């Protein structure tokens, strides 16, 4: 399995993303997201408690942490799907606090969900077309007259087909999304998110449930996004993959950011090993996160 | 038993004003429930608004018939806003309970003696036909053949009603094949997914609620056109009957609501004629009042059977099941 | 989904309160111009009519209220000749009340009281005349009225609680918003009627038997319909619509058997027991309250102390966890259905005395109040439903001190809407997780 994720021709990582000594909450040279004092509690449980976080632009940042660390909750907060008890955050210099989810998405910060939300009752192509932004035909009165939107619709369809080819879903375009496999749905959700021409793509466990044979191509897709000028923030449990594609890693545990830094450094950080392993310090991270057996990793 | 009369009444109900009114209301519900996944249990309220809006405009304000239509439509939009703004973020069955309660509140307000001057309280409203009948382009007389023989006013109501049904169905068809309809169908299934793509889900749901509400109000107006506004009509059972018609035909289809309403009324008329006749002629061992109750029992049973065994309805696509979870 | 869109929520909540204020203003404006109908409900078959005169001079715009069996209530005002007329649905006794506050200053009803009982006989019509002169008015002090309403409201609330607790247990364990719960209420009343009138059992036997039959009915519905549907994996919305179909079917089956009118249980005209001032309660009210309290206490013991009760709460809390920890969910749900139906049946019997009378759609008349009570307390929690019912019951009765009696349910329904608006997850419910 680990051979799957060994790149044939590794692409260069972005470096020099931070300024000042590496520590949780370190300032970035060119941050796209800046968050301050974000706190979210559910009853007595503090799910997220982040003092300061900056996400570097034009880089791939991984958000890791044990189950229940608050990663998804932080995603929900940053994208306007949930409301924090306290805190402010901005995207591309504009404050996002209190902005509803759809506005966040319109500004170019688009997300996918840990539990995939492919729209099963629409066809694959319709799912894709739904992603496109600023459609004339989505306005109530104009939608009544195809003359206003037919041309734009054709352009959207073309773009959707191109993306579907890239994601190897073109053969399925006329099928209801409900007929796709779990991994294919993940792909579709990601491709659909790209239809919005985002600046920041936030992926919640994009690789979970995806067939190992597909992971390599999915990782390449994520690396392509960076090459196309987008910023990626993703949640992942598999350390090998994180090591492979991330330029920067942020580690959460019990709602807090306990460490961040370039992947190689973070893996050595005692705070991270602590957070993940507790008592089992002799084990490798890849083993604990359940992707590898001990003898596969050396 | 007079089979000729029974069959003639039944055939006549094919294009009866009640059938047309149900078809309009069911198309409205298809927009709410079938396409947008909004469980509006208050369609009777929208119909009441249409009917009372139309009648009150004529009786209290002396407006012409077309202005009455506009008032009914406008009032239903206002009602949709009042209802939708607070409730559209609620989960499915909560929305059902709020809408049913709102329709009930509305009915009680129309029924109370407090506003008797305007609403006629328990007596309802009547005698508002002058302007509508004056606008009738059909010369006086009786037209048609067989069971479909009506006077000029009868035809005027039916022709106008059928024309409205046709226009409304055309509007729904154009909307649902457009990107607007695509967003709506996306919302029906998972509104968070649609929201994550930058669509203002709330605005779409509100638009859908207003649109369907206007169709419901038009249904109420057509119901009121031939005779009178009776507050006993706009009860929660009316909502349930319209749901039955809608689900019978197919909730997320263009012609389903129309087909469903026609079947509903043809069956209702047939049974309401044939059951008492069977009872009086001694074939059914019950009184004729009891016999006519049986057809409503049947409505309930049919509603259960459709939802359990064929939720997509007669015209629906089995793959495109329309029930939100 | 309840989590999202909080900012628009604020904004729109503001907008809504604005609209509500406008609506209230409109209503007050409309009600400021008094309705003047000298006739009402004329499509009903029977007539009650009368005359109001002050020393031979007719009095106009005097408010007359006619109440009768089945919660029938209608208001009229006298015309320029002092006459009024209302249609009533049955050959029964009706109570005619003249509202003395609508008389000119300084005069009152001089012969007899301002409240009369009239009986519509075989002639189908009856009339009663009020004579007005200088005199003392029959006024009940506001405090007495309030206390009386409060007592009636508590009685109504306890009765509602019997119905709501069951519906909320069913919702908690199966996620079914059961519209047919209304018919389970009617079922109890109809069974009591059949046992006591048709089979002529004494009422103290008929009522427990009716409750028992209700429980059996609940068991039958679970075994014959709901459990198979759960197996089939129907969604909550589908289940809800099935329950609507069932509700319609049952309702008209009741009408088939007892007809469209109102029938009475034995002993519905029980004597009034004066308590203090002008406050009095009937024997039936008092017995009914006592029964409700005892039954609710027994139910609370069952829910809190017995193994099945605890299992019920565990399932409401987290069905899959409960199933995983070895609870036989199907069995518990079956028991919940029996108890819910039994409680609903008892509520139906008590409601039949409260209204008074049994009608084919009597359950449907209070279904929304039951929903309001459940929602108020937090969906799926039995004690929430109890508190919710008491609030709704007293609210309905007390609010009729200020708002017209025919609008008294409106308050509770508006409350229901407001709760869902400001706490969509109910008072004790939890929000759902996203992503
Ligand atoms: N809606 C909610 N209500 C109550 N608790 C919640 C809710 N959403 C999340 N939590 C709690 O908050 C904590 C963080 O959850 P979150 O889903 O953010 O974890 P995560 O880091 O994404 O975990 P995983 O890696 O397993 O996906 C958990 O303890 C979870 O139980
Ligand atoms: Mg997560």
Architecture of domain C39-139: Sandwich (2.60)
Question: What's the pLDDT score for residue C244?
Answer: 93
CATH top-level class for A1-118+182-293? alpha beta
- The CA distances from residue C353 to A117, C181, C209, C265, C344, in Å, are 53, 19, 17, 7, 14
Q: Cβ separation of B299 and C248 shorter than 8 Å?
A: yes
CATH 1.10.3470 domain span(s) along chain C: 144-422
- Using CB atoms and an 8 Å cut-off, which of residues 354-373 of chain C contact chain B? 364, 368, 371-372
The secondary structure of residue B1, as a DSSP letter, is -
pLDDT in tens, A144-196: 999 999 999 999 999 999 999 988 888 988 888 888 888 888 889 999 999 99
Structure tokens at C370: 């039951």
Q: Cβ separation of C4 and A82 shorter than 8 Å?
A: yes
The residues that bridge with C77 in the sheet, in sequence order, are C63
Structure tokens at C427: 């008072």
- The CA distances from residue B154 to B217, B315, C68, in Å, are 20, 30, 40
Question: Nearest CB to B308: which of C4, C242, C417?
Answer: C242
**By percentage, how much of chain B surpasses pLDDT 90?**
61
Judge whether residue A282 has pLDDT over 50.
Answer: no
Question: What's the pLDDT score for residue C36?
Answer: 43
| CB count in 10 Å sphere of residue C418 | 16
φ, ψ of residue B88 to 5 degrees: the values are: -70, -10
Distance of residue C387 Cα from the nearest chain B Cα, in angstroms: 19
- Give the list of residues 6+ apart from residue C1 with CB closer than 8 angstroms, or none: B89, B91, B191, B192, C432, C434
Mean of per-residue pLDDT scores for chain B: 90
The residues that bridge with C355 in the sheet, in sequence order, are none
Q: Answer for the pair C40, B121: CB distance below 8 angstroms, yes or no.
A: yes
Residue positions counted in chain B: 325
pLDDT in tens, A231-267: 999 998 888 888 888 889 998 888 888 888 888 888 7
φ, ψ of residue B183 to 5 degrees: the values are: -60, -45
| Nearest alpha carbon to residue C71 among C342, C315, C366 | C366
Q: Cβ separation of A83 and C6 shorter than 8 Å?
A: yes
Distance of residue C287 Cα from the nearest chain B Cα, in angstroms: 32
Question: What's the pLDDT score for residue C4?
Answer: 39
| CB count in 10 Å sphere of residue C121 | 10
Distance CA C180, CA C254 (A): 13
The residues that bridge with C51 in the sheet, in sequence order, are C83, C129
SS3 label, residue C264: coil
| CB count in 10 Å sphere of residue A287 | 17
SS3 label, residue C82: coil
- The CA distances from residue B164 to A40, B160, B161, B176, in Å, are 52, 6, 5, 18
The secondary structure of residue C122, as a DSSP letter, is T
Give the number of domains in chain B: 1
Distance CA C222, CA B115 (A): 45
Domain ranges for chain A, please list them: 1-118+182-293, 122-179
- Using CB atoms and an 8 Å cut-off, which of residues 236-275 of chain C contact chain B? 236-238, 240-242, 244-253, 255-256, 259-260
Whether residue B195 is contained in a domain is answered as yes
Please list every protein residue whose CB sits less than 6 Å from any atom of ligand 1. A 42, 45, 47, 65, 67-73, 114; C 431, 433
Distance of residue A43 Cα from the nearest chain C Cα, in angstroms: 10
| C-chain residues near A115 (CB < 8 A) | 435
- Using CB atoms and an 8 Å cut-off, which of residues 86-115 of chain C contact chain B? none
The closest residue, in CA terms, to atom 27 on ligand 1 is A67
Question: Nearest CB to A113: which of C3, C5, C435?
Answer: C435
Predicted ipTM? 0.91
| CB count in 10 Å sphere of residue A220 | 14
The DSSP H or E segment spanning B323 is none
| Cα-to-centroid distance, A117 and ligand 2 (Å) | 14
- The CA distances from residue C145 to C159, C279, C393, in Å, are 21, 7, 16
CATH hierarchy code of domain C144-422? 1.10.3470
Distance of residue B165 Cα from the nearest chain A Cα, in angstroms: 17
Q: Where are the beta strands (DSSP E) in C57-110?
A: 57-58, 63-68, 72-77, 83-88, 93-98, 107-109
pLDDT in tens, B225-270: 998 999 889 999 999 999 999 999 998 899 999 999 999 999 999 9
Judge whether residue A201 has pLDDT over 60.
Answer: yes
Q: Answer for the pair C327, C147: CB distance below 8 angstroms, yes or no.
A: no
Ligand at minimal distance from the CA of A67 is 1
Mean of per-residue pLDDT scores for chain A: 83
Ranges of chain C whose pLDDT falls below 70: 1-37, 56, 70, 106, 111-112, 123, 134-140, 276-278, 379-380, 423-435
Distance CA C156, CA C143 (A): 20
Average pLDDT over residues A39-45: 85
Whether the CB of C414 is below 8 Å from some CB of chain B: the reply is yes
- How would you list the strands of the sheet with A248-253, edge to edge? A109-111, A200-204, A231-235, A60-64, A248-253, A256-261
Distance CA C196, CA C213 (A): 14
- The CA distances from residue B306 to B240, B243, B244, B312, in Å, are 13, 11, 8, 8
Distance of residue A282 Cα from the nearest chain C Cα, in angstroms: 33
pLDDT in tens, C45-96: 788 888 887 776 778 888 888 888 767 888 888 887 788 888 888 878 888 8
- How would you list the strands of the sheet with A86-91, edge to edge? A45-56, A31-42, A86-91, A94-95
Cα Rg, chain B, nearest whole Å: 20
Under the banding of pLDDT at 50, 70 and 90, the label for residue B167 is: very high
The vertex-C365 CA angle with C364 and C368, nearest 5°, equals 80
HSE value, Cβ hemisphere, 13 Å, CA-based, for B136 = 20
Under the banding of pLDDT at 50, 70 and 90, the label for residue A2 is: very low
CATH 2.60.40.10 domain span(s) along chain C: 39-139
Q: Where are the alpha helices (DSSP H) in B147-200?
A: 152-176, 179-189, 191-195
| Cα-to-centroid distance, A201 and ligand 2 (Å) | 16
| Nearest alpha carbon to residue B275 among B264, B253, B290 | B290
| Nearest alpha carbon to residue B87 among B231, B254, B213 | B213
| A-chain residues near C12 (CB < 8 A) | none
Q: Answer for the pair B270, B10: CB distance below 8 angstroms, yes or no.
A: yes
| Cα-to-centroid distance, A47 and ligand 1 (Å) | 7
Residue B195: domain span: 17-234
Structure tokens at B305: 């059977």
The secondary structure of residue A269, as a DSSP letter, is -
Q: Cβ separation of A129 and B183 shorter than 8 Å?
A: no
Q: Cβ separation of A130 and B197 shorter than 8 Å?
A: yes
* Beta strand pairing call for B142-145 and B148-151: antiparallel
pLDDT in tens, B102-133: 999 999 999 888 888 888 888 889 889 889 99
Q: Answer for the pair C271, C137: CB distance below 8 angstroms, yes or no.
A: no
The secondary structure of residue A172, as a DSSP letter, is G
Q: Which atom of ligand 1 is nearest to the CA of A255?
A: 14
Under the banding of pLDDT at 50, 70 and 90, the label for residue B92 is: low
Whether residue B88 is contained in a domain is answered as yes
Question: Nearest CB to B93: which of C19, C237, C245?
Answer: C237
Average pLDDT over residues B294-315: 90
The closest residue, in CA terms, to atom 24 on ligand 1 is A67
SS3 label, residue C213: helix
The residues that bridge with A250 in the sheet, in sequence order, are A63, A260
| Structure-derived torsion over alpha carbons of residues B236, B242, B244, B248, reported in degrees to the nearest 10 | -170
- Give the list of residues 6+ apart from residue C87 with CB closer than 8 angstroms, or none: C39, C40, C41, C42, C43, C44, C45, C46, C47
| Cα-to-centroid distance, A106 and ligand 1 (Å) | 26
| Nearest alpha carbon to residue C302 among C332, C273, C347 | C332
| Cα-to-centroid distance, C430 and ligand 2 (Å) | 19
Whether residue B34 is contained in a domain is answered as yes
Distance CA A108, CA B32 (A): 31
Whether the CB of C5 is below 8 Å from some CB of chain A: the reply is yes
pLDDT-wise least confident of A136-150, A221-235, B158-172, C419-433: C419-433
Residue positions counted in chain C: 435
Structure tokens at A257: 């950011």
Ligand at minimal distance from the CA of A73 is 1
| A-chain residues near B199 (CB < 8 A) | 102, 130, 138
- Which of A47, A74, A79, A83 best probes binding to C when mutated, by most C CB atoms within 10 angstroms? A83
- Give the list of residues 6+ apart from residue B248 with CB closer than 8 angstroms, or none: B256, B259, B260, B263, B264, B302, B306, B313, B314
Whether the CB of C8 is below 8 Å from some CB of chain A: the reply is yes
| B-chain residues near C238 (CB < 8 A) | 307-308, 311, 323
Distance CA C196, CA A212 (A): 73
pLDDT in tens, B190-218: 889 999 999 999 999 999 999 999 999 99
Distance CA B216, CA B27 (A): 8
Structure tokens at A110: 């688009």
| Nearest alpha carbon to residue C374 among C164, C175, C68, C144 | C164
Q: Cβ separation of B98 and C420 shorter than 8 Å?
A: yes
């Amino acid at each position: 399995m680990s051979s799957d994720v060994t790149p044939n021709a590794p692409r260069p990582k972005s470096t020099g993303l931070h300024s000042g000594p590496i520590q949780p909450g370190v300032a970035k040279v060119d941050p796209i997201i800046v968050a301050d004092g974000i706190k979210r509690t559910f009853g007595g449980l503090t799910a997220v408690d982040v003092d300061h976080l900056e996400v570097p632009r034009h880089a791939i940042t991984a958000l890791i942490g044990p189950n229940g660390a608050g990663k998804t909750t932080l995603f929900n907060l940053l994208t306007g799907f949930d409301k924090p008890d306290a805190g402010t955050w901005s995207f591309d210099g504009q404050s996002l606090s209190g902005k509803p989810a759809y506005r966040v998405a319109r500004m170019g910060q688009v997300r996918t969900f840990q539990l995939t939300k492919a729209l099963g009752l629409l066809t694959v192509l319709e799912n894709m077309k739904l992603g496109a932004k600023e459609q004339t035909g989505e306005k109530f009165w104009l939608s009544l007259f195809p003359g206003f939107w037919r041309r734009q619709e054709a352009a959207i369809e073309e773009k959707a087909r191109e993306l579907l080819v890239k994601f190897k879903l073109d053969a399925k375009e006329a099928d209801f999304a409900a007929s796709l496999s779990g991994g294919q749905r993940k792909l579709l959700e990601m491709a659909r998110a790209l239809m919005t021409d985002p600046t920041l793509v936030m992926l919640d466990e994009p690789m979970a449930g995806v067939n190992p044979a597909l992971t390599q191509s999915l990782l390449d897709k994520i690396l392509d996004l960076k090459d196309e000028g987008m910023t990626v923030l993703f949640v992942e449990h598999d350390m090998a993959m994180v090591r492979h594609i991330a330029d920067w890693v942020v580690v959460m545990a019990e709602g807090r950011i306990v460490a961040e830094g370039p992947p190689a450094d973070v893996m050595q950080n005692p705070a991270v090993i602590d957070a993940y392993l507790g008592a089992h310090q002799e084990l490798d991270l890849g083993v604990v996160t359940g992707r590898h057996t001990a003898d596969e990793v050396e | 038993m007079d089979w000729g009369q029974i069959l003639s009444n039944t055939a006549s109900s094919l294009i009866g004003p009640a059938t047309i009114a149900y078809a309009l209301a069911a198309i409205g519900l298809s927009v709410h429930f079938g396409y947008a996944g909004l469980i509006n249990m208050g369609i009777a309220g929208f119909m009441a608004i249409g009917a009372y809006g139309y009648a009150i405009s004529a009786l209290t304000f002396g407006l012409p018939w077309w202005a009455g239509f506009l008032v009914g439509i406008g009032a239903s939009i206002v009602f949709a806003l009042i209802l939708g703004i607070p409730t559209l973020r609620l989960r499915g069955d909560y929305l059902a309970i709020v809408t049913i309660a709102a329709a009930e509140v509305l009915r009680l307000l129309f029924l109370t003696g407090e506003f008797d001057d305007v609403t006629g309280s328990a007596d309802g409203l009547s005698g508002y036909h002058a302007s509508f009948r004056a606008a009738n382009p059909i010369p006086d007389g009786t037209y048609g053949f067989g069971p479909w023989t009506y006077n000029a006013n009868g035809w005027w109501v039916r022709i106008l009603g059928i024309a409205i049904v046709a226009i409304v169905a055309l509007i729904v068809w154009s909307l649902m094949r457009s990107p607007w309809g695509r967003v709506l169908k996306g919302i029906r299934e998972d509104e968070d997914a649609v929201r994550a793509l930058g669509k203002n889900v709330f605005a779409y749901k509100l638009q859908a609620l207003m649109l369907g509400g206007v169709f419901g109000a038009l249904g109420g107006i057509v119901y009121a056109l031939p005779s009178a506004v009776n507050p006993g009509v706009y009860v929660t059972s009316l909502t349930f009957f319209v749901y039955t018609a809608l689900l019978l035909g197919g909730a997320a289809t263009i012609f389903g609501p129309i087909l469903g309403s026609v079947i509903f009324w043809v069956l209702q008329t047939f049974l309401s004629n044939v059951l008492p006749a069977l009872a009086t002629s001694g074939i059914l061992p019950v009184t004729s009042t009891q016999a006519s109750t049986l057809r409503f029992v049947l409505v309930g049973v049919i509603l259960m059977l459709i939802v359990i065994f064929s939720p997509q309805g007669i015209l629906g696509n089995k793959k495109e099941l329309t029930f939100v979870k | 989904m309840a989590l999202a869109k909080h900012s628009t929520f604020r904004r729109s909540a503001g907008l809504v309160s604005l609209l509500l204020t406008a609506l209230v203003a409109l209503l007050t404006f409309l009600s400021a111009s008094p309705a003047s109908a000298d006739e009402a409900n004329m499509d009903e078959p029977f007539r009650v009519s009368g005359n109001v005169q002050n020393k031979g001079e007719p009095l106009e715009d005097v408010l007359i209220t006619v109440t009768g069996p089945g919660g029938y209530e209608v208001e009229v005002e006298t015309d320029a000749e002092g006459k009024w007329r209302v249609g009533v649905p049955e050959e029964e006794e009706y109570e005619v009340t003249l509202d003395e506050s609508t008389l000119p200053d300084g005069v009152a009803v001089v012969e007899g009281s301002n409240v009369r009982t009239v009986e519509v006989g075989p002639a189908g019509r009856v009339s009663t005349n009020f004579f007005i002169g200088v005199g003392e008015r029959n006024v009940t002090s506001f405090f007495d009225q309030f206390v009386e309403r409060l007592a009636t409201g508590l009685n109504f609330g306890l009765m509602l609680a019997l119905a709501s607790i069951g519906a909320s247990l069913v919702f908690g364990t199966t996620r079914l918003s059961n519209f047919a719960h209304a018919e389970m209420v009617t079922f109890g009343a109809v069974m009591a009627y059949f046992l006591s009138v048709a089979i002529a059992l004494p009422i103290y036997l008929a009522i427990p038997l009716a409750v028992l039959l209700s429980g059996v009915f609940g068991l039958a519905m679970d075994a014959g319909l709901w459990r198979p549907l759960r197996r089939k994996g129907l969604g909550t919305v589908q289940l809800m619509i099935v329950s609507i179909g069932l509700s319609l079917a049952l309702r008209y089956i009741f009408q088939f058997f007892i007809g469209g009118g109102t029938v009475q249980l034995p002993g519905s005209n029980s004597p009034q027991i004066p308590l203090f001032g002008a406050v009095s309660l009937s024997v039936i009210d008092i017995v009914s309250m006592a029964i409700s309290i005892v039954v609710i206490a027994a139910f609370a013991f069952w829910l809190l102390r017995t193994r099945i009760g605890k299992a019920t709460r565990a399932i409401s809390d987290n069905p899959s966890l409960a199933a995983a920890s070895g609870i036989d969910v199907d069995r518990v749900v079956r028991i919940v259905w029996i108890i819910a139906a039994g409680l609903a049946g008892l509520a139906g019997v008590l409601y039949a005395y409260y209204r008074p009378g049994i009608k084919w759609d009597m359950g449907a008349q209070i279904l929304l109040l039951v929903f309001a009570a459940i929602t108020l307390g937090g969906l799926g929690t039995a004690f929430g439903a109890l508190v919710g019912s008491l609030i709704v019951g007293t609210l309905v009765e007390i609010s009729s001190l200020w708002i017209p009696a025919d609008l008294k349910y409106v308050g509770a329904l508006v409350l229901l809407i407001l709760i869902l608006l400001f706490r969509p997850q109910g008072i004790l419910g939890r929000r759902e997780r996203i992503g």
